[in-house]
Copies of this chain bind each other. A is one copy, B any other.
Amino acid sequence: MKLTPWLSLVLVLPAAAQTPVEAARAWREEHGARILRDYAELLAIPNVTLDRSGIRRNAERIRALFAERGASMELLELKGANPVIFGTLAAPGARRTLGIYVHYDGQPVDPSRWTYPPFEPTLCTRALEDGGEPRPLPADGEALDPEWRIYARGAGDDKAPIPALLAALDALAAAGIERTSNLVFFFEGEEEAGSMNLGRFFDAHKDRLAVDLWLICDGPVHQSRRPQLVFGVRGITSLEITVYGAARNLHSGHYGNWAPNPGMMLSRLLASMRDEAGNVLIEGFYDTVAPIGAAERAALAAIPDVDAALKAELGLARTEGEGRLEERLLLPSLNVRGLASGNVGAAARNVIPNRATAALDVRLVLGNEPGAMLELVERHVAAQGYHVVRDEPDLATRREHDRIARIVRGGGYVAARTPMDHPLVEPLTAAAESASGEPVVLMPSLGGSLPLYLFQEKLGRPLVIVPIANHDNNQHAPDENLRIANLEYGIDLMAAILTMP
């Protein structure tokens, strides 16, 4: 995303000679402050998936923003579902129809763990971990600093494509540049809760979703900060395991050494699941992994090696298992995303807690089926001597079994991967390179999970993931943010894509 010397020169040419990317750049250099303020306004609307009223306000606002640009917009509704923002925008003499998928909902928030409130968007002079300080939103005419970051839930995941699209449409219109593709907008409001109604929406509106290519605008660009196109995603499932001590919390003095300690039991159980290097020891865990093909292997080899830089950035002296990040993401994972038992810190008390719980997520690759993978985990737990139950065990069950594990299974979905030789991949790659001035990274699979299998299964249409956000956007965590350079890249990228030959 550096400005090449050539691009610096062409900025002084008259508007008539502008390329789409030049037009986008000129537009955002003149109107950047307003674009950013408008984005802050959108981020201020709470978008946690289960916050029905916040979600509705987001949907209405986004619909209006696109309608103002001439798109034909509506909210698709299904009983019990958050609305899908649907729209079309025709281009005269269009060469194709592109589908644009975005999700406007965000992960839950624990405001106590955020530096600034998650729904009071805060502009900072750089990343907080690099000493960024809050500063006012810019006034009209004030230039944006590409290293600024705007902090808010959804800033990176996944509202970022919205201001990028809006500004690109404005820039092209102002420069009188025609778009070359019809557009179909499909903005989902339940992605962070597992896209539980996406298939039903697809079934209900299949005819209106018959595009030539879906652009899945989500996820982060490459950790090298180079632009990226991604051809697949991991699937996901999850489970919670609770192990039990006595039927109530006990005084650790009066019973310590005698009553079983659930924290210790859980630790032993989890420790049995992975080796010291991080490899999963659960029998059969890697057996169903589909091998990758030659094209993917070639693409992997061409990806810049970011391991050393990432390790330095993240303060890591080692990583798990064997192989580079991109290779590790082509394997299923077993992640402890939460541990809870009793209390730590100031609230710690001298008790033997009556239970200990671990929340785990399991990322899936091609070949893994969610239910079957959970079955493997459950069999492993049973093989460690645990009586596995679905509900809170009663006293009789507790008296009968030495070790009891309650396993609550989460939902999930399979992975997806798209072939790398679609005819639109070449113009898309050129668009991303013209927007960034750098070679694009072609990634066989994202580590994260999106319900892409539905696009293939229900709509039968190809797709490519087109990310905008910085990789260090704290997605799903406190202090989520978008780097301004990535917003700028997104605007330029959208202008290039909407006009690609």
Residues of A with Cβ closer than 8 Å to B?
A: 107-108, 110, 129, 219-220, 233-234, 236, 238, 240, 244-264, 266-271, 273-274, 276, 278, 311-321, 325, 328-329, 331-333, 335-353, 356-359, 361, 363, 393, 395, 398-402, 446-449, 471-472, 474-478
Contacts and interface: CB of A to CB of B under 8 A. Distances in A.
Given A253-B448, A257-B278, A349-B337, A400 B317 contact: yes
A278 B393 CA distance: 22
Nearest to A324: B258
A315 B110 CA distance: 35
A331 B245 CA distance: 20
Contacts of A315: 244, 246-247, 393, 395, 398-399
Nearest to A410: B348
Contacts of A260: 278, 316, 318-320
A248 B249 CA distance: 33
B264 A268 contact: no
A447 B331 contact: no
A311 B329 CA distance: 47
Contacts of A248: 129, 314, 472, 474, 477
Q: What is the oligomeric copy number?
A: 2
A361 B350 contact: yes
A29 B348 CA distance: 40
A313 B246 CA distance: 9
Nearest to A274: B264
B267 A336 contact: yes
Closest 6 CB pairs of A and B: A253-B448, A263-B336, A315-B398, A267-B270, A249-B477, A256-B333
A126 B276 CA distance: 49
Contacts of A331: 257
A482 to B, nearest CB: 15
Contacts of A129: 247-248
A338 B344 contact: yes
Contacts of A402: 317-318
A342 B359 CA distance: 9
A374 to B, nearest CB: 16
A447 B251 contact: yes
Contact of A446 (B254, B340, B342): B254
Contacts of A337: 252, 263, 342-343, 348-353
Contacts of A234: 253
Given A258-B319, A259-B316, A110 B347 contact: yes
Contacts of A474: 248-249
A252 B333 contact: yes
A244 B317 CA distance: 11
B264 A270 contact: yes
B338 A352 contact: no
Contact of A351 (B245, B258, B477): B477
Given A110-B347, A258-B325, A315-B395, A447 B341 contact: no
B338 A341 contact: yes
Nearest to A352: B335
Contact of A476 (B236, B340, B350): B350
Contacts of A325: 255, 258
Contacts of A257: 278, 320-321, 328-329, 331-333, 363, 447
